[in-house]
Structure 1
Amino acid sequence: MGTIKLKNIRTFSYHGCLVEESKIGSDYRVDLEIKADLRKSMQTDELADTVDYVHLNKIVMEEMAIRSKLLEHVAQRIVVRTFAELPEVSRIKLSVAKINPPIGGDVASVAIEVEEYRT
């Protein structure tokens, strides 16, 4: 087994329960970690034998572009799509953070983190 990590994927998205959030948007940070069998690609040096991190980033960016009220909802979409499109992925650990959330205090970010295993 091996791990591929995409750290600090930055997006500008429109998630949130407040009407204002759907209009003005916010900065977000996504961290994605997947587990997969990387032994073949370690030997062959071929992209076709591994999980393409460009594909992972594309999934994150496309799902972050779809408005959700809750970070949990967008995270679940990323997980479901990753498992559906990349059958070699056995585990996903994902964090979605809203930078400078409008919660009436000096808070750098709020985040949710999920970890899911292929069943």
Structure 2
Amino acid sequence: MGKIRINNMSFHTYNGVHAEEKKLGQRLEIDAELTYPIETKVQNDRLEETVSYSDVYKAIEAFVLNHNYDLIESLANNLLHQILTQFPSLEGVKLRIRKYSVPIAGIFDNVEIEVSGGQDEK
């Protein structure tokens, strides 16, 4: 089964539990892995035979910039459902969301969550 990956999409968002996160915002990075039968569907070198990763990027960008949640887990679950609904030819989607400005006293790069699902799980 083929995979289309869009890696390290970066967005300034206002997701978070704390007032500072909602006011100042922070950077989120998102990786999307799209499962699509490239091997059997793409035969004639035509965009109509595949899923446009440009369209998927625009859908992710619009969703992330227009929806704010306390939890990035909620963002991930709702974004997953949106992508599967908007692009029904995808067999599955895996999302990884990284949050960098996390109010935790400690030394680390980021917090990352991962969700995945398929058309049968919408």
Deviation per CA, 1:56-115: give whole Å up to 9, x if none: 111211221111111111111211111111111111111111013221222210011011
Quick check: which one's strand share is greater?
1
Is 1:58 matched up with 2:58? yes
CA RMSD between the two structures: 1.1
% identical aligned pairs: 29
Deviation per CA, 1:20-43: give whole Å up to 9, x if none: 1011011111010010122222x1
In 1, Cα distance between equivalents of 2:99 and 2:111:
5
1:90 alignment counterpart: 91
Alignment of 1:1-119 (within 5 A): 1-38=1-38, 39-41=40-42, 43-65=43-65, 66-119=67-120
The question of whether the paired residues in 2 share the 8 Å contact of 1:59 and 1:78 is answered with: no
**Structure 2, unaligned runs of 5 or more:** none
The AA in structure 1 aligned to 2:98 is A
In 1, Cα distance between equivalents of 2:62 and 2:79:
9
Instruction: Using the TM superposition, give the Cα deviation of residue 53 of structure 1 relative to its aligned residue in structure 2, in angstroms.
Output: 0.4
The AA in structure 1 aligned to 2:22 is S
Which moved further from structure 2: 28-37 or 60-69?
60-69
**Structure 1, unaligned runs of 5 or more:** none
In 2, Cα distance between equivalents of 1:47 and 1:103:
45
The AA in structure 2 aligned to 1:9 is M
Q: State the TM-score, normalizing by the size of structure 2.
A: 0.91
The question of whether the paired residues in 2 share the 8 Å contact of 1:63 and 1:74 is answered with: no
In 2, Cα distance between equivalents of 1:14 and 1:88:
31
Q: State the TM-score, normalizing by the size of structure 1.
A: 0.93
